[in-house]
Structure 1
């Protein structure tokens, strides 16, 4: 593609809503300053969404180590997650892309369709060990545009004491009916059932998707009977008092604070809470989100992809490939994913994680059942679908529309 053609496509892509990444993967906020690539070809630039890690961190040291192994120096810049996507688009317009770009997985298809990223056929990255359901988040139009560095997803945390006092055996929770029965017992015992985030942003869609997909619904058909059954489940929980009205405004952080009070039986939240859950002062467990009729529902995957942007000097790709291969090697994935509270994207490293920490087993199970938000070749269609989905959730939970009418309006808006 010539530079003019790429510039023209990028201009259109820059108008795409890139907020799908914000809030869904629990990366800390921060800011970075874009540095232009030095004239020295021995310096390679890496942009990442981890401003919480400074130059003394294990993450920064890993980048430097991989640079040393590849025989180059690393210039690293960290950005806020949502800011990074826009910076990447702008840099590509200016033919000044980073050599390696680590970006939230829903943004990969947007950048790929804009002509910003090379394919794994071009850059020779080996993705053969990556779990297919995780790799799918970085695929568009039958091509793969990078490799995941790790994954997080959603599951149900539960308070063991609240369930015990209510006479609930958590092993009985296998589907929606048994979960709702457990919530009824908890409410009758004077405690609170379940908290989650249904806010009118991507976080709300992110948290609703396990129930939507767990019903058998598809994002290409928001108004299906299956989708309506998922929204009715949430609506009924509010009507019965099993979930609080605060879910309408809850972020994943505020719903977690509700669970931290010790009054709730369940909280839908993510892998990123593992570091803090042991500080809550009560015994907890983790349960994969059940599907409507049983089994584990597909929860959306969070986490980043390591990608190689298009360069004017294609001779840089060989070294970029070495850097990415180093960052995503089995040895480094184990250490990196421990730092990021991620489940590894390969079964080999997942087994190693569980062997070292048995508490990760339900999270590995949840990740194995997980699904990328842009999978099924939705690509840049996803942001529009997601916006209508969270609006439908808000309408139904607030009582302004029935679940069926809310989802019908959502599907009409997407068309």
Structure 2
């Protein structure tokens, strides 16, 4: 019966698989292992670990051509640091990974350790993919060094099923010269943002650009507004939640944001900002290279997403978990290694992605001295995960649908959010 349920679950994931909240993996990095991974069964792996034999640990990841070599270099360093475990990383394309996990649960063909996009972690923990490592994390004592949001993304029903490996979030980008010419200060509140967007909207330029398509990317961009208003996904029909949706709808209705935001990806929003068609945008650090390339002479900066009740952002990034019943002891040693301050710092500074560890981000001179990256680091403390919930793909679809309905005027913000709440109420009961 469980296998039947798993097969049903993969069907519901297809629409979700192709909508990213952040930068997709680039061309595959060279892999040190091209064979099929993780076909060892649970009752076969224990003797290999208990007899003191060298344990081969298969690890699935979708790191690309930039961060892949750095990660695989970390794997090589781990192998050289001891003589009991040999890690064999294997690249699996991002768009294939969830399908391979789901099929693997049925066919018993899985790795020993696997990478997972953080909003999907709870879904697969609920399906039984990942090992519960709560007690190991507590004994390790390193769990309290992670930012709240990244750590929360690896927790399901109060238990820990993995560790965050890298993180990102959203912030407000602004054109320095445009704000100066309009006499606008960098907005810190919703009221200030609306007023700034009004003054900056002229001569074919919109005050603000966001990404609001009917997929995970739209939900990702909407959540900071929901959270800042003091709302949450369990009460989408609350006055606070409705206020957050009505705020964005008003920006479109008043002409301060383009009606086309419902079709824009975050890469599209970057192009609007880089070409001077938007004075401000909400976007993530993965678009820093794009803006530098597209607009090398533009003077721009970033600030925290303006707040209503509190500053807020949404969490992006990846986690790693140990596949349930596989080589758990060896997997935990590897997880601790790549999550250590030294390795986390090495990966973060080598890739420009953020470490989920507070101690690393606070001590890294690379991030602290950079006027752009340091703002994202500050914003990261307010970044909360999507969910976590095993039905997140369905919940996300309900939210992004409401976003589309409100921004197009098909429904009032209140009606759109009430309808979204009706859709997710049953899903939330399974938390």
Corresponding position of 2:395: 385
Q: Distance in 2 between matches of 1:18 and 1:346?
A: 32
How far the C-alpha of 1:336 sits from its partner, in A, is: 0.9
Corresponding position of 1:36: 37
Secondary structure, in 3 states, of the residue corresponding to 1:241? coil
Asked if the contact 1:162/1:263 (under 8 Å) is kept, the reply is no
How far the C-alpha of 1:404 sits from its partner, in A, is: 1.0
Secondary structure, in 3 states, of the residue corresponding to 1:119? coil
1:69 aligns with 2:74: no
Worse-superposed segment, 332-341 or 260-269: 332-341
- The match for 1:301 among 303, 307, 315 is 315
Corresponding position of 1:406: 416
Q: Distance in 2 between matches of 1:195 and 1:410?
A: 24
Q: How do 1:346-385 residues align onto structure 2 when only pairs under 5 Å count?
A: 346-353=357-364, 354-375=367-388, 379-385=389-395
Corresponding position of 1:23: 20
Corresponding position of 1:331: 342
How far the C-alpha of 1:273 sits from its partner, in A, is: 1.4
Corresponding position of 1:150: 166
Asked if the contact 2:188/2:304 (under 8 Å) is kept, the reply is no
How far the C-alpha of 1:265 sits from its partner, in A, is: 1.5
Asked if the contact 2:212/2:262 (under 8 Å) is kept, the reply is yes
How far the C-alpha of 1:355 sits from its partner, in A, is: 3.3
Q: Distance in 2 between matches of 1:202 and 1:97?
A: 26
Secondary structure, in 3 states, of the residue corresponding to 2:240? helix
Q: Distance in 2 between matches of 1:37 and 1:139?
A: 24
- Could you list the runs of 5+ residues in structure 2 that have no partner in the other structure? 41-47, 49-53, 426-431
Secondary structure, in 3 states, of the residue corresponding to 1:150? strand
Please report the TM-score for the alignment, with normalisation by the length of structure 2. 0.86
Worse-superposed segment, 256-265 or 243-252: 256-265
- Could you list the runs of 5+ residues in structure 1 that have no partner in the other structure? none
Change (3 A) 1:183 1:158: same
How far the C-alpha of 1:184 sits from its partner, in A, is: 1.2
Asked if the contact 1:175/1:290 (under 8 Å) is kept, the reply is yes
1:226 aligns with 2:240: yes
Deviation sequence 1:292-322 (CA, Å, 0-9, x none)? 14x412x22011111111135xxx3222112
Change (3 A) 1:283 1:310: same
Say what the alpha-carbon RMSD is for the aligned residues.
2.4
Deviation sequence 1:62-98 (CA, Å, 0-9, x none)? 2221222243333222223242122122223333321
- The match for 1:177 among 191, 199, 202 is 191
Worse-superposed segment, 221-230 or 363-372: 221-230
Asked if the contact 1:159/1:284 (under 8 Å) is kept, the reply is yes
Q: Distance in 1 between matches of 2:124 and 2:58?
A: 18
Change (3 A) 1:69 1:246: same
Asked if the contact 1:151/1:302 (under 8 Å) is kept, the reply is yes
Q: Distance in 2 between matches of 1:143 and 1:228?
A: 32
Q: How do 1:199-278 residues align onto structure 2 when only pairs under 5 Å count?
A: 199-278=213-292
Q: Distance in 1 between matches of 2:212 and 2:306?
A: 18
Change (3 A) 1:98 1:38: closer
Deviation sequence 1:201-234 (CA, Å, 0-9, x none)? 1101110111111111221121222122111111
Q: How do 1:153-168 residues align onto structure 2 when only pairs under 5 Å count?
A: 153-168=169-184
Asked if the contact 2:165/2:339 (under 8 Å) is kept, the reply is yes
Q: How do 1:53-92 residues align onto structure 2 when only pairs under 5 Å count?
A: 53=66, 57-71=69-83, 72-92=85-105
Corresponding position of 1:131: 147
How far the C-alpha of 1:53 sits from its partner, in A, is: 4.7
Q: Distance in 1 between matches of 2:87 and 2:15?
A: 29
Q: Distance in 2 between matches of 1:18 and 1:203?
A: 15
- The match for 2:405 among 387, 390, 395 is 395
How many residues get paired? 400
Worse-superposed segment, 404-413 or 24-33: 24-33
Worse-superposed segment, 361-370 or 24-33: 24-33
Secondary structure, in 3 states, of the residue corresponding to 2:37? coil
1:52 aligns with 2:65: yes
Worse-superposed segment, 198-207 or 7-16: 7-16
Q: Distance in 2 between matches of 1:359 and 1:35?
A: 41
Asked if the contact 2:39/2:109 (under 8 Å) is kept, the reply is no
Deviation sequence 1:86-125 (CA, Å, 0-9, x none)? 2122223333321211111111111111111111136556
Q: Distance in 1 between matches of 2:276 and 2:374?
A: 24
Deviation sequence 1:335-371 (CA, Å, 0-9, x none)? 2123443221121101123334343221112110010
Change (3 A) 1:12 1:115: farther
Asked if the contact 2:182/2:200 (under 8 Å) is kept, the reply is yes
Change (3 A) 1:372 1:408: same
Asked if the contact 2:168/2:380 (under 8 Å) is kept, the reply is yes
